[in-house]
């Protein structure tokens, strides 16, 4: 067991999977000698060489489209999109091609590949280095979407994603890269896709979150404990396929559900979770299904006061919990 | 600069036709059979469409010569092709059967391309190294480039080739993919079947350059324009490009100038934007009579050989039609299959008020016999 930062756990996961399976390759912008702009792939080019750690031109559609073809050809590509904000030029390749390949060929073809991308705000990244893009992709059957919140989960889930036979988007909150530390076992382990985790048991309000918000939800749970409110936090970890049972079990126990996400509120991933809770736990609810989410502006503004205004934080979540608990 | 290779027919001289390209008489007869078979299957599709048997046709008529010539340069069962929706002759040459093509028109459960899930024309066969076709154009170029990357890294000696029309060649994926393939000297060949129209928009409104092949220069790779109605010229150009790719010298671009003998699809009336004079002139570029005349002149296609080939094609088209007509539709209980590798229960409807089976009108009542539980859900 060793204490690792979030990004160290990701790098270790990549290295160990590349060592285990020679078909695993990495491609993306600046992933080679530089080791990525966040250094997620630092040292891998030196260890695995030009063929397996490939610096690409600034061509996101090519990164994804080439990964699809390479996957058909028997490789296990791990593509890095430098910022999730820049994944949009590859939307067609992800949605029209990677997601549909298995279904449209009636299982004749598949595209086992991982797309890693740093997402999220709170780092002075402004409109184009702060976006949360998960809702675009959780909408699409054929894609899997994973957002880990701890070093342990990041490494274990990344290994599962690389071994999975379908395309997976793996979003990493960039604010967590060096600010979040946690214990990671030395030996090989995996964390299964499609399993949420109760990270804080409680009895009065369920808070459902993922990524950075899973940490903020825990902080909020501590704050409202002083007010005598018992909160259960569910960290989804995999957004699709969604582990409905874990979150519904929690809501059926507490009777109150608050969903937290950093993305714009309208049509965000939490809206789907809210619909599922309303449909499937209605008889157990003792208050409205509520959401704390980012405001509906086109991006996170740069100025620190404006960015703080945009970002969901522990106190905003605590406020939401208090209001829901009092309902 | 684009260079037009000398016409293969002019090179015949005293030598046997195709000998300079290493083609035997049997090769030439088989190439002719494939060109003529693709045309016969295609013509049958239109008859079935106009008779109301199949709702949609997208055609390869006029492209067959280029398709057979180019595909002949690849190693069947080893190399890869990412085709497009006019690639009937390509798919037949690379191993798919007339039944495979016809079941796609009828969207039957046994359609090997998609099990009836895709529109006709979206061919694909893993068995034959033909990548599944989608409708967004030019996306497949990147898949072929990725296959070429895998071949290079895994040192398999394979070549990956992709094909599209000149209209599709304007897409950004083409630029991104050619650039990447050229940087890494990937074993990749890019074929543009230039029929002069992107549905209704003529070449002059699509491409400002003097040719599509000229664009190759910007990527530092060879680009040639060939007469797409000259089967052997297309073969010769592809053979050179494939050899270059296999030797590790990188990609090539071949522009085959073809003609589109039909509308864009069965839903298009091309007389609205093309004159009768132009259409009549284009019929002189039809590769089928041209290749036939070339082989007859060379003494390769004897009357006996032609009778034999014609009869076999007639039988094959009839058999494929009868077969596809009799094939069942896909079972709706299989419609949730293959979203992912594992069974996918979906985040389905809520459990209350839904009874035992699916609630949607017209859905098949649940019958789990022989089906995984999640499919019958």
Quick check: B339 and A103 CB within 8 A?
yes
Question: Which residue out of B44, B86, B260, B333 is catalytically annotated?
Answer: B260
Question: Residue B377 has what pLDDT?
Answer: 33
Top-level class of domain B9-326: alpha beta
Q: What is the DSSP letter of A242?
A: T
Is residue B21 left, alpha or beta, with left meaning phi > 0 and alpha meaning psi from -120 to 50?
alpha
Distance CA B34, CA B67 (A): 10
**Given a cut of 80, is residue B364 above it in pLDDT?**
no
Quick check: B153 and A52 CB within 8 A?
yes
Is residue B132 left, alpha or beta, with left meaning phi > 0 and alpha meaning psi from -120 to 50?
beta
Report which of A120, A123, A142 is spatially closest to residue A131, judged by C-alpha positions.
Answer: A120
Taking the CA atoms of residue B230, residue B234, residue B235 and residue B237 in that order, the dihedral angle to the nearest 10 degrees is 140
Quick check: B149 and A66 CB within 8 A?
yes
pLDDT, tens digit (0-9, with 9 covering 90-100), for B166-180:
999 999 999 999 999
**Given a cut of 90, is residue B15 above it in pLDDT?**
no
Question: Residue B347 has what pLDDT?
Answer: 67
Question: Residue A111 has what pLDDT?
Answer: 98
| Residues of A that are catalytic | 129
Percent of chain B with pLDDT over 70: 88
Contacts of B154 in chain A (CB under 8 A): 23, 73-75
CB B90 within 8 A of CB B70: yes
CB A143 within 8 A of CB A94: yes
Distance CA A121, CA A127 (A): 9
CB A221 within 8 A of CB A207: yes
Per-residue model confidence as pLDDT tens for chain A (327 residues): 899 999 999 999 999 999 999 999 999 999 999 999 999 999 999 999 999 999 999 999 999 999 999 999 999 999 999 999 999 999 999 999 999 999 999 999 999 999 999 999 999 999 999 999 999 999 999 999 999 999 999 999 999 999 999 999 999 999 999 999 999 998 899 999 999 999 999 999 999 999 999 999 999 999 999 999 999 999 999 999 999 999 999 999 999 999 999 999 999 999 999 999 999 999 999 999 999 999 999 999 999 999 999 999 999 999 999 999 999
The closest CB to that of B139, out of A67, A77, A96, belongs to A96
Taking the CA atoms of residue A51, residue A54, residue A60 and residue A65 in that order, the dihedral angle to the nearest 10 degrees is 10
The closest CB to that of B139, out of A67, A71, A92, belongs to A92
Distance CA A112, CA A167 (A): 5
Strand partners, A238: A146
Question: Residue B14 has what pLDDT?
Answer: 62
Report which of B32, B128, B43 is spatially closest to residue B83, judged by C-alpha positions.
Answer: B128
* Cis status, amide bond into A241, omega within 30 of 0: yes
CA distance B15 to chain A (A): 41
* ipTM score for this prediction: 0.97
Distance CA A206, CA A213 (A): 14
Question: Which residue out of B53, B273, B274, B323 is catalytically annotated?
Answer: B273
Question: Residue A267 has what pLDDT?
Answer: 98
Confidence of residue B349 (pLDDT cuts 50, 70, 90): low
Domains and CATH numbers, chain A: 2-184 (3.40.50.970), 197-326 (3.40.50.920)
pLDDT, tens digit (0-9, with 9 covering 90-100), for B85-130:
999 999 999 999 999 999 999 999 999 999 999 999 999 999 999 9
Quick check: A93 and B139 CB within 8 A?
yes
| Catalytic residue list contains B273 | yes
Quick check: B117 and A280 CB within 8 A?
no
Domain boundary assignment for chain B: 9-326, 332-377
């Amino acid at each position: 067991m060793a204490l690792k930062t979030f990004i160290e756990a990701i790098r270790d996961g990549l290295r160990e999977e590349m060592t285990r399976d020679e078909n695993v390759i990495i491609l993306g912008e600046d992933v080679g000698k530089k080791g990525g702009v966040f250094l997620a792939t630092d040292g891998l080019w030196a260890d695995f060489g030009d063929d397996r750690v490939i610096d690409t031109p600034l061509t996101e559609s090519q990164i994804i489209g080439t990964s699809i073809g390479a996957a058909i050809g028997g490789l296990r590509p791990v593509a890095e999109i430098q910022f999730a904000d820049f994944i949009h030029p590859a939307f067609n390749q992800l949605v029209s091609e990677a997601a549909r390949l298995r279904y449209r060929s009636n299982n004749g073809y598949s595209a086992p590949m991982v797309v890693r991308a740093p997402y999220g705000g709170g780092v002075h990244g402004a409109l184009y280095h702060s976006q949360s893009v998960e809702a675009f992709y959780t909408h699409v059957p054929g894609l899997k979407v994973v957002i880990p919140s701890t070093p342990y989960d990041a490494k274990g889930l990344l290994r599962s994603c690389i071994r999975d036979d379908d395309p997976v988007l793996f979003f990493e909150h960039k604010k967590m890269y060096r600010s979040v530390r946690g214990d990671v076992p030395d030996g090989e382990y995996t964390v299964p896709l499609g399993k949420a985790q109760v990270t804080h048991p409680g009895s009065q309000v369920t808070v459902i979150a993922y990524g950075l918000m899973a940490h903020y939800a825990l902080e909020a749970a501590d704050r409202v404990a002083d007010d005598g409110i018992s909160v259960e936090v569910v960290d989804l970890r995999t957004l699709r396929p969604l582990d409905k049972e874990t979150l519904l079990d929690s809501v059926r126990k507490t009777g109150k559900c608050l969903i937290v996400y950093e993305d714009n509120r309208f049509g965000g991933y939490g809206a789907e979770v809210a619909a599922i809770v309303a449909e499937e736990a209605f008889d157990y609810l003792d208050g409205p299904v509520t959401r704390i989410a980012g405001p509906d502006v086109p991006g996170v503004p740069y100025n620190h006061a404006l960015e703080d205004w945009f970002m969901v934080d522990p106190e905003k979540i605590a406020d939401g919990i208090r209001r829901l608990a009092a309902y | 600069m684009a260079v037009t290779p000398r016409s293969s027919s002019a090179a015949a001289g005293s030598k046997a036709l195709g000998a300079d390209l290493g083609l035997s008489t049997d090769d030439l007869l088989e190439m002719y059979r494939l060109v003529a078979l693709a045309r016969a299957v295609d013509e049958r599709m239109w008859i079935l469409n106009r008779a109301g048997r199949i709702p949609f046709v997208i055609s390869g008529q006029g492209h067959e010569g280029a398709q057979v010539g180019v595909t002949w340069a690849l190693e069947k069962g080893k190399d890869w092709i990412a085709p497009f929706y006019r690639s009937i002759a390509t798919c037949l040459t690379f191993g798919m059967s007339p039944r495979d093509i016809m079941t796609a028109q009828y969207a039957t459960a046994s359609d090997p391309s998609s099990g009836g899930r895709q529109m006709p024309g979206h061919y694909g066969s893993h068995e034959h190294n033909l990548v599944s076709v989608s409708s967004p154009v030019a996306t497949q170029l990147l898949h072929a480039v990725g296959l070429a990357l895998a071949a290079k890294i895994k040192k398999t000696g394979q070549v990956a080739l992709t094909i599209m029309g000149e209209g599709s060649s304007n897409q950004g994926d083409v630029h991104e993919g050619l650039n990447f393939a050229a940087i890494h000297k990937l074993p990749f060949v890019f074929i543009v079947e230039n029929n002069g129209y992107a549905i209704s928009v003529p070449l002059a409104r699509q491409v400002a350059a003097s040719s599509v092949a000229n664009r190759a220069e910007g990527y530092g790779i060879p680009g040639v324009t060939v007469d797409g109605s000259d089967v052997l010229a297309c073969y010769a150009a592809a053979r050179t490009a494939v050899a270059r790719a296999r030797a590790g010298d990188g990609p090539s671009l071949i522009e085959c100038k073809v003609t589109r003998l039909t509308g864009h699809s069965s839903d298009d009336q091309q007389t609205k934007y093309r004159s009768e004079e132009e259409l009549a002139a284009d019929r002189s570029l039809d590769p089928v009579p041209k290749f036939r005349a070339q082989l007859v002149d060379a003494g390769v296609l004897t009357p006996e050989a032609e009778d034999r080939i014609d009869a076999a094609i007639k039988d094959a088209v009839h058999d494929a039609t009868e077969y596809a007509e009799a094939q069942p539709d896909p079972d709706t209980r299989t419609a949730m299959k293959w979203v992912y590798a594992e069974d996918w229960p979906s985040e389905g409807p809520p459990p209350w008020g839904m009874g035992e089976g699916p609630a949607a009108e017209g859905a098949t009542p649940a019958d789990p016999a022989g089906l995984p539980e999640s499919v019958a859900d």
